[in-house]
Amino acid sequence: MEHITVVGASLAGLATVRALRAQEFEGRITVIGDEQHEPYDRPPLSKEYLAGTVSEEDIGLTDSDDVELGVEWVLGQAASSLDNAGKAVVLEDGSRVGTDAVVLATGARARQFPGGCPQGVHTLRTLDDARALRSELVPGARLVVIGAGFIGAEIASTAAALGCEVDVVEAADVPLQRPLGAEMGAVCGRLHARNGARLHVGTGLAELVGETRVTAVRLTDGRELPADVVVVGIGAQPNTEWLAGSGLEIDDGVRTDEQGRTTIPEVLAVGDCAHSYRDYTAGWLRLEHWTNALQQPAAAVAALLGREHSAPAHHSVPYFWSDQYGHKIQFAGHRSADCTVQVEEGDPDSGDFLALYLDAEERPVGVLAIDRARPFGQWRRKLAKSR
């Protein structure tokens, strides 16, 4: 191979480029990105950047060492199709980037509220999204967050610290029910009330009120919450529509094996757009988390180049974290519907604890901790060794 194209100027895309050079690929590398920006760190967008405590320069991911990578950046230009027969990525302006192999790192985008939205309604996924939202989070502003998942909770946390009046609306009975289960989701949900944010569960968004600009949110239970600003945080969907007709298997992302290989040998997928087989779960899983986007590309590059790749055992264990109201929430492993929860340390009511998720045979398969980084790290490594 003489030319490898990475589609997606993301953390996963940059990690792919770095892995290619680290694994001694000396050929041409092109990175295609639909944003005008070079890769930047997304987690601070809902926290430090939104709060104004870090700058755009601070969240940039490229550094002086990356100049030596010899990358051709094609920014502000989305890929529109993948021509496998012609071995090319077709861009939205009709131009073609001929290539020997492609690594897909197109990530995911925020789900939109169906229908038109008045001014003051936001999603948060990109730097441009964060710029727009940051200008509206002023002290006293009435913010309604639709969705109490990780992104919604982090925005609520940041906004409350900025002096906004915050309401959080969640359709499920408890926040974070899908990743953490009802018991621990309720524990994390209590962080909102402790910090002055009002949490409304078991209801959803029925209608945005306001013609030119949003003035309120009407809920499915009939209540109406006044709003100056609304953030819709109802999940993300992988950016894979442009791959229709490519021959790739698309199922909530691009289906891959454990190393990122797709059904086409010279095409791999990594990061948020990859629905990859996971040895730890013995099934397919699409992870929308920073750690996976950073770690998965090295294995994919090794597979593409025919190299050996070994990573620390704990890298195989799904992992994510979230910073909310001054607390660090960490989870490793995988929760299934039949898991039970066993508190090992601390007290969930105090917001400082560590809990294990046990499968039907009472084997630990997951660990959740709030503000217990050291024992959490120990359990994360234990989970890796147990498989």
Quick: pLDDT tens for 186-197.
Answer: 999 999 999 999
145 and 99 within one domain? no
8 and 103 within one domain? yes
User: What is the span of the domain harbouring residue 295?
Assistant: 3-109+237-311
| Cα-based distances in Å from 118 to 39, 217, 229 | 30, 11, 10
269 and 190 within one domain? no
pTM of this structure: 0.94
- 3-state SS assignment for residue 115: coil
Q: What angle (nearest 5°) sits at the alpha carbon of residue 357, between those of residues 282 and 191?
A: 125
Q: Domains in the chain: how many in total?
A: 3
Residue 68's pLDDT is what? 87
Domain boundary among 234, 258, 284: 234
> Residue 104: enclosing H or E segment and its boundaries?
strand 101-104
Examine the pLDDT at 309 and tell me if it is beyond 90. Answer: no
Examine residue 321 and state whether it is found in any structural domain, yes or no.
no
Residue 120 CA, chain-centre distance (Å), reads 23
175 and 61 within one domain? no
| Cα–Cα distance, 358 to 350 (Å, whole number) | 22
Examine residue 319 and state whether it is found in any structural domain, yes or no.
no
Q: What is the DSSP letter of 69?
A: G
Average pLDDT over residues 74-83: 96
Residue-wise burial string across 157-186, b where 16 or more C-beta atoms lie within 10 A, e elsewhere: bbbbbbebbbbbbbbbebbbbebbbeebbb
Examine residue 378 and state whether it is found in any structural domain, yes or no.
yes
Residue 313's pLDDT is what? 67
Residue 67's pLDDT is what? 87
CA atoms within 13 A of residue 23's CA, in its CB half-sphere: 20
217 and 127 within one domain? yes
Examine residue 359 and state whether it is found in any structural domain, yes or no.
yes
Query: Can you give the CATH number for the domain in which 360 is found?
Result: 3.30.390.30
121 and 49 within one domain? no
Q: What is the DSSP letter of 280?
A: T
Average pLDDT over residues 157-180: 97
Residue 281 or residue 312, greater confidence: 281
128 and 116 within one domain? yes
Q: Which residues contact 376 (CB under 8 A, 6 or more apart)?
A: 330, 332, 354, 367, 369
69 and 16 within one domain? yes
Query: Can you give the CATH number for the domain in which 75 is found?
Result: 3.50.50.60
- Give the number of other Cβ atoms within 10 Å of residue 88's Cβ: 17
Q: Determine the straight-line distance between the first and last CA of the chain, rounded to whole angstroms.
A: 36
Looking at the chain, the whole-number percentage of residues with pLDDT higher than 70 is 99
168 and 23 within one domain? no
Average pLDDT over residues 256-273: 96
Q: Is 321 exposed, middle or buried (0-12, 13-18, 19+ CB in 10 A)?
A: middle
242 and 98 within one domain? yes
- 3-state SS assignment for residue 279: coil
250 and 105 within one domain? yes
| Cα–Cα distance, 336 to 294 (Å, whole number) | 25
Rg (CA), the chain: 21
Least confident range from 111-120, 149-158, 208-217, 227-236: namely 111-120
